[in-house]
Amino acid sequence: MTIEQLKQRACEAVDKNREKIISIGKSILREPEMGYKEFKTAQKVKEVFDELGYSYVDQQAITGVIATASGKEHKAKIAVMGELDAVMVPNHPFADKVTNAAHACGHNVQIATMLGTAIALKESGVMEELDGDVALMAVPSEEGVELEYRNGLIKEGKISFLGGKQEFIKLGLFDDIDAMIMQHTTKGDTVNAGGPGGMGFIAKLVRYIGKESHGAAPDQGINALTAARIGLGAVDAIRDTFRDEDGIRWHPIITKGGDLVNVVPGEVKIESFVRGYSLEAIKDANFKINRALKAGADAVGAQIEINDLPGYTFFHEDLALKQVVEDNFIQLVGKDHVGVGKGLTTDANDVSYLIPTVHAYAGGAVGTGHGADYAVENEELAYIVATKMLVMTSIDLLYDGAKKAIEIKKNFKPVYTKEEYLREWGGLEIK
């Protein structure tokens, strides 16, 4: 059977299961969960795998699930990936009323397209004609948030990284993977195969420690909130020392500002990222920001604790793999609807340092990403076209002795080995 016949058969399976794929995404939309807490979402994934007859491993990086679609030969192995987690957007119409979690970023669509790929590969029978395997990965915790909670997991030894794909690297789950493809829903009516660069970041936990006293006797206490206000103001005062081309972003939130209105705040907690376009720029900005934050504590005689955690790296583009994805997008929607992508902040960037990776984008969404008005409007583009691209790319890579996957992996030049990544990035000295 020709490669085009296989693609046609697989795409027909996607069309046949259109409503099922979309319903999976909507089911996940209605029950959003935060990173490393996606137990209900993982269960939904397992139920689909069970229904299809896939064997799988679960509880990978706490909630991750991986099934494998096996070919007639095992000459290469690629990964098709979706992300399990949501963000907190309390005013989103589908926000969880207890946790405020909401799929205001489209990860529910990601999981649906990954599972749509699983459905199409199984029901079409195309794996019997392919010479490699497809790892179908549901990965936790792409959003590097809830820093205090995740730092607690790190202290307990349950994880080492903020991001689920980083954990998958540590666990060796990419050791036998020759290439990874995934997609993310975006606004508009175009698609793209991603792009280079993007922003990396350092995550920060900041704790100001003062001394409680009665609100009517502030002279007997040390106001941690005042220290924080001065520190945050000091950071604002040095923003113009950051170069425009470095793209430095500092966006703190105060997660604890005190306890009672009539008690001088004895403890204030802050979380933030320091983002930028290069590691050198991030480290320089982080040093300056830490210095400014410490000044706030010094000003009022408070103490300060700063815990810096390694965030995500930058996207390392593989042009050969990207071309395969772009060619399939062109076949599906026409060249006029294939745009130019760019790298963004995601832990898929970290994977791209080790193996050929494409983080593609398919339109169909409206509203503001991570906003209350975010919604998927064009279901055909967001769900069906995206699934077909994943399926078609899988076939391209594994057809005819898995020549394309083997060639791409052979010509790929990793930034790090796995061991180097874990040492140089995971153990990064950034203070």
pLDDT at 197: 86
In this predicted model, what pLDDT tens digit does every residue of 186-200 receive, in sequence order? Answer: 999 999 999 998 899
N- to C-terminal Cα distance for the chain? 57
Lowest mean pLDDT among 169-173, 182-186, 217-221, 426-430: 426-430
pTM value > 0.75: yes
Please tell me the distance from the alpha carbon of residue 110 to that of residue 136, in angstroms, as a whole number.
12
Q: Looking at residues 53-78, what average pLDDT do you find?
A: 98
- CATH architecture of the domain covering 3-197+314-426: 3-Layer(aba) Sandwich (3.40)
Radius of gyration for the alpha carbons in the chain, expressed in angstroms and rounded: 23
Q: How confident is the model at residue 412 (pLDDT cuts 50, 70, 90)?
A: very high
Enumerate the domain spans of the chain. Answer: 3-197+314-426, 200-310
Strands 179-187 and 357-366: parallel
| CA neighbor of 13 nearest in space, from 125, 91, 110, 101 | 125
Instruction: Report residue 385 as tokens.
Output: 């076209």
In this predicted model, what pLDDT tens digit does every residue of 153-192 receive, in sequence order? Answer: 999 999 999 999 999 999 999 999 999 999 999 999 999 9
**Fold of domain 200-310:** Alpha-Beta Plaits (3.30.70)
**Phi/psi zone of residue 410: left (φ > 0), alpha (ψ -120 to 50 degrees), beta?**
alpha
Q: Which residues contact 284 (CB under 8 A, 6 or more apart)?
A: none
